[in-house]
Amino acid sequence: MPQVRANGISIAYQDHGSGPALLLCHGWPELGHSWRHQVPALVAAGYRVIVPDMRGYGGTDAPDDVGDYTILHLVGDQVALLDALGIDHCTIIGHDWGAPVAWHAALLRPDRFRAVAGLAVPWSPRGPQGGLINMARAQGMDRFYMVYFQEPGVAEADLAADPYETHRRLLVGASAAGVTTSRRWPAQVPDVGLVQGCAPVDVLPDWLPEADVRHYADTFARTGYRGGLNWYRNLDRNWALTAPWHGVPIGVPACFIAGEFDGVLRMPSMDKALKAMEGLTCTDYRGTTLVEGAGHWVQQEAPDAVNTALIAFLRGL
């Protein structure tokens, strides 16, 4: 993958096709590889598709300081990547953790990100009560997985003990195959840790070939997991940093896509966040697509449905 210096780090990225630019942001614990089914379809539809490994992942630099992973850094990376590639503006599309990056990019820099599509994680604006981690701890949710991720070194050791088993269990556990067979990974992490708390996987589902599991596992075995975990360690800091935008809606065209079995949609207040996007927190909302039979990794589990929804959204801009 080519690399470019942007926002003080080296960013590895894919760049395919020509036409209006699209920037695809992956989530945790993944890589730009998670968009492998979207790239050819979007290029064939007439777009230039740019897919970075996000800060802390894969071929992109992973700074040592936890404080270098705030939402402002993550949005800044995308702006700087556009600058480095000579792109004035684009549509930004994000999945999982990449979705909050995309939503915030559209909120903070609508001049550069003219439209936004979020996958799996609805736009959830800054609330008045404080950061998510402090709120979870105040409610006694000390084993909530995001809280479990806070202590440096703990989750790293858990996940890195066997990267192949980590990705095999976590990817299947959050998919429709995991949710519908009661193999979902636990929101409350047991004493044995997150990976061992997930059910073993006997047979991989059709959407997740062995080669893809190996690709993720081999990459994370080389890089470790600290970079991606540091995103979670800035959740409360992000709440403080985004105070100037409290109550400001996203004004660019927006849409949301998720699998019907995605566990994120069943988290507290997600139903309210989804409803609020319809004209309240997003003033130019173009609709929600719930993909039948898919779980959290919707663009990998149901690529044709996601590609159809994305291209319809893009054609309407």
Q: What is the pLDDT of residues 202-211, one digit of tens each?
A: 999 999 999 9
Mean pLDDT of the chain: 95
pLDDT of residue 5: 97
pLDDT of residue 183: 72
Catalytic (active site) residue 202: no
pLDDT of residue 136: 86
The mean per-residue pLDDT over the stretch 52-72 comes to 98
With beta carbons less than 8 A apart as the criterion, state whether 36 and 74 touch.
no
The pLDDT confidence band at residue 149, using thresholds 50, 70 and 90, is very high
Residue 234 half-sphere exposure toward CB, CA atoms < 13 A:
22
Q: Which residues are bridge partners to 250 per DSSP?
A: 282
pLDDT of residue 179: 83
Catalytic residue among 61, 96, 158, 262: 96
Model pLDDT for residues 108-125, shown as the tens digit of each residue = 999 999 999 999 999 999
Whether 186 shows a pLDDT value over 90: the answer reads no
The mean per-residue pLDDT over the stretch 222-233 comes to 98
CA angle 72–73–74, rounded 5-degree value: 90
pLDDT of residue 291: 98
The pLDDT confidence band at residue 187, using thresholds 50, 70 and 90, is confident
The mean per-residue pLDDT over the stretch 73-77 comes to 98
* 114 Cβ contact list (under 8 Å, min separation 6): 89, 90, 91, 252, 253, 317
Whether 134 shows a pLDDT value over 90: the answer reads no
pLDDT of residue 225: 98
Catalytic (active site) residue 96: yes
Catalytic residue among 26, 95, 104, 296: 296
pLDDT of residue 43: 98
The mean per-residue pLDDT over the stretch 141-162 comes to 95
Model pLDDT for residues 228-268, shown as the tens digit of each residue = 999 999 999 999 999 999 999 999 999 999 999 999 998 88
Whether 105 shows a pLDDT value over 80: the answer reads yes
Helices and strands, number each (H, E), in the chain: 15, 8
CATH for 3-315, options being 3.40.50.1820, 1.10.10.60, 3.30.420.110, 3.90.1580.10: 3.40.50.1820
Q: How many CB atoms lie within 10 A of CB 9?
A: 19
Whether 127 shows a pLDDT value over 90: the answer reads no
Structure tokens at 115: 């439209």
Q: How many CB atoms lie within 10 A of CB 44?
A: 11
pLDDT of residue 145: 93
The mean per-residue pLDDT over the stretch 42-60 comes to 98
What does pTM read for this prediction?
0.96
With beta carbons less than 8 A apart as the criterion, state whether 71 and 241 touch.
yes
Whether 308 shows a pLDDT value over 90: the answer reads yes
pLDDT of residue 138: 86
pLDDT of residue 268: 83
Whether 140 shows a pLDDT value over 90: the answer reads no
Model pLDDT for residues 17-38, shown as the tens digit of each residue = 999 999 999 999 999 999 999 9
pLDDT of residue 167: 97
Strand 48-52 with 113-119, pairing: unpaired
Q: How far apart are CA 297 and CA 184, in angstroms?
A: 13
